[in-house]
Amino acid sequence: MEDQCTSSSPLDLEDIEDLFDKSEDLSKTSANSRLVVPKIKKRIKKGIKIEADKFEANEVDDLEEDTDNFLPGQAKIYVKTWGCSHNVSDGEYMAGQLAAQGYAIEEKKNADLWILNSCTVKSPSEDHFRNEVESGLGQGKKVVVAGCVPQGKPDAEYIKGLSVIGVQQIDRVVEVVEETLKGHQVRLFGPKKVSVSNEERDNGLTNSIRKTGGASLALPKIRKNPLVEIIAINTGCLNACTYCKTKHARGQLGSYTIEEIVNRAEQAFTEGVVEIWLTSEDTGAWGRDLGLTLPDLLEQLVKVIPDGCRLRLGMTNPPYILDHLEQIAQILNSDKVYKFLHVPIQAGSDAVLNEMKREYTQDDFCRVVNVLRQRVPGITIATDIICGFPTETNEDFAETMAVCRK
């Protein structure tokens, strides 16, 4: 591939988990963004025929049916996303699939249906989501909810009667939207699973079926930033942190294969993308369910990055890179990889970390930081700290501050 890429400037952010919070309305960028598969698919005049077995029992409820006036691909759709880059990528995929079927991605005031893609990490985001749901319904809009809030709290009072797209069901957004436009309620929550391959068995997997990373990475997409491709390399995690609500929504770890991720990256570069952002609830845990580790993926991914383009690693918890620090450092020293890593500590007190069930110690975190500082000159390491955890004492907090001063 020709050297057509140049790296964009780093963002000035107050919170690295809110990379897109101030610009999540896809309607404002869709005109200048690119669809991975831009062709509008041919539609049957009377609408899409949905096979009887596509929806499980109780997934579809008849509300006020309006099939007589329904024409597929004619409605205007508003898509709004809150939260992390994984959520942003999901929103881009949903908008892309709808646009590929002829639906216009519009501003909220002009839209017939709103898709609200939620975040459950922070109370303000969830509050904004609830307010937007109520606002849409109050304006007579049809509303479809997605993301971690309805997945983790499907019985929440304010989403009763609404269609839901589960976090691993975004490839069915067109079906859900069309059924909702007809007056039906559709609620899809299930995980995606596949049979374990012979290669995965050779890597030590013993189960016959495993959870996948989610919907296909090859789906159409409208990128918020046409120069940045966000790839969610896995979903869920291996931890059970006592303060975390996201685990209830995203569940156990499910990884995409190396081939799926590399193919997506190569496709994105051909479309003018200059940065690949790897994201997930814990990128460091990638591949543990496949018998692989993160360096196995990164070594293959770096090979397909054109000159002048860059790769950015997402958040990784300390336990999953401790055994691979030398390999991670070598990859971060590549001129095709940003010298940046987000490694949360959450607390500098081992007592508090134990109460949080974080599965590492202060010394573990410091070892990660010290090795990377030594091996990767100029590296930027970001972290997260939770202040005021229920069992935290003044002495515990003092330990956290002492770590920050190191």
- Specify the pLDDT at position 188: 93
- Specify the pLDDT at position 292: 95
Low-confidence ranges of the chain (pLDDT < 50): 1-23, 30-58, 63
Q: Please check whether residues 171 and 214 belong to one and the same domain.
A: no
- Specify the pLDDT at position 23: 43
In a domain, 8, yes or no: no
In a domain, 53, yes or no: yes
Q: Please check whether residues 284 and 168 belong to one and the same domain.
A: no
In a domain, 6, yes or no: no
In a domain, 237, yes or no: yes
In a domain, 60, yes or no: yes
pLDDT digits (tens, 9 = 90+) for 268-279: 999 999 999 999
Q: Please check whether residues 157 and 201 belong to one and the same domain.
A: no
In a domain, 5, yes or no: no
Q: Please check whether residues 222 and 259 belong to one and the same domain.
A: yes
| Integer Cα distance of 251 and 237 in angstroms | 7
pLDDT digits (tens, 9 = 90+) for 81-131: 999 999 999 999 999 999 999 999 999 999 999 999 999 887 888 999 999
Q: Which domain holds residue 256?
A: 193-404
Rounded to a whole number of angstroms, the CA Rg of the chain reads 22
Q: Please check whether residues 144 and 228 belong to one and the same domain.
A: no
Q: Please check whether residues 284 and 321 belong to one and the same domain.
A: yes
Token couple for 262:
């590399």
Single pTM value for the model? 0.83
Q: Please check whether residues 151 and 266 belong to one and the same domain.
A: no
Please give the C-alpha separations between residue 62 and each of 54, 114, 349, in angstroms, as whole numbers.
16, 19, 53
Q: Please check whether residues 255 and 374 belong to one and the same domain.
A: yes
Q: Which phi and psi (to 5°) does residue 377 adopt?
A: -60, 135
Q: Please check whether residues 41 and 111 belong to one and the same domain.
A: yes
- Specify the pLDDT at position 203: 77
Q: End of a domain among 153, 188, 223?
A: 188
pLDDT digits (tens, 9 = 90+) for 20-61: 444 456 665 544 444 444 344 444 333 333 333 344 434 555
340 forms beta bridges with: 380
- Specify the pLDDT at position 29: 56
Q: Please check whether residues 285 and 386 belong to one and the same domain.
A: yes
Closest to 27 in 3D by CA, of 98, 119, 132: 98
In a domain, 7, yes or no: no
Domain CATH for 256 = 3.80.30.20
* Strand pairing report for 184-188 and 234-235: unpaired
Q: Please check whether residues 50 and 172 belong to one and the same domain.
A: yes
Please give the C-alpha separations between residue 377 and each of 194, 222, 323, 331, in angstroms, as whole numbers.
42, 36, 20, 13
Sign of the C-alpha dihedral computed for residues 110, 116, 119 and 124 taken in this order: positive
Closest to 235 in 3D by CA, of 171, 286, 300: 286
Nearest 10 degrees: Cα torsion 120, 122, 128, 132:
0
Q: Please check whether residues 285 and 397 belong to one and the same domain.
A: yes
- Domains: count for the chain: 2
In a domain, 371, yes or no: yes
